[in-house]
Amino acid sequence: MARIFVTGSADGLGQMAARLMVDAKHRVVLHARNRQRAAEALAAVPRAETAVIGDLSSIQETRDVADQVNGLGTFDAIIHNAGIGYRERRRIETVDGLSHVFAVNTLAPYILTALIHKPKRLVYLSSGMHRSGDPSLRDLTWEERPWNGSNAYADTKLHDVILAFAVARKWPDVLSNALEPGWVPTKMGGAGAPDDLDAAPRTQVWLATSDEPAARVTGQYFYHLKRRATDAAASNEAIQDRLLSECARLSGVPFPS
């Protein structure tokens, strides 16, 4: 039996993954951005241990989430599931003056990774759209470029793979991997998404909990339980180090050595 923390688990794939894990007798802690959403999450997954609360678009609230998780003790795995989709039509600015998409999809998983006590496994949700992301890491917060929601989302999904691979390199004692769940008909994906919704949460559950040798790897990218090639930039150590450095600068949270 494993103990797993899942970000963004009030609905969608995060909630689906949480249900699969509690059904398998694992101990699961949920996350939601406010108290109402946390209550809804616990009602939907009643066998979960508890839910932590914090808006991941805020640096301070993300730090608070890390403190809450650390206060609950140690975890075997953390699934970084929370995310903003590709449909934002304008650049929405957070309380910290950052792009909303970047703050939630890139900076929050970085902060949580840096501040939460090391688990045995880390799982980062990406997307097939990461292959269209900008590997230059220029203008991460979209202050200079004309806004494009689809491109901003693709950038952050590339960042998530880069982060997963950077952690795999920096922390050899942690299994750190990324995956794409497919384009599925969730609130984020939209009703017309063509991929298999039932299959969508299973790879993250497998990577977080399975003892199969194929799941006990690090620095890999998956789709439906199978390894899949990723953008070459994700394996570039200079790009990895630059992303960590930029996230540390923007958040004020250094990456642990």
- Residues carrying an active site annotation: 153, 157
Residues 6 or more apart from 245 whose CB is under 8 A from it?
none
Burial of 82 (0-12, 13-18, 19+ CB in 10 A): buried
**Chain centroid offset of residue 22 CA:** 20
Going by C-alpha positions, the residue among 136, 125, 124, 132 that lies closest to residue 150 is 132
Q: 1-19 burial by CB neighbour count: b if 16+ within 10 A, else e?
A: ebbbbbbbbbbbbbbbbbb
User: What is the rounded CA–CA span in Å between residue 183 and residue 186?
Assistant: 9
CA distance 102 to 107: 6
**Residue 234 to residue 124: CA distance in whole angstroms:** 13
- How far apart (Å, rounded) are the C-alpha atoms in residues 223 and 195? 12
User: Six-digit token pair at 204?
Assistant: 């993250």
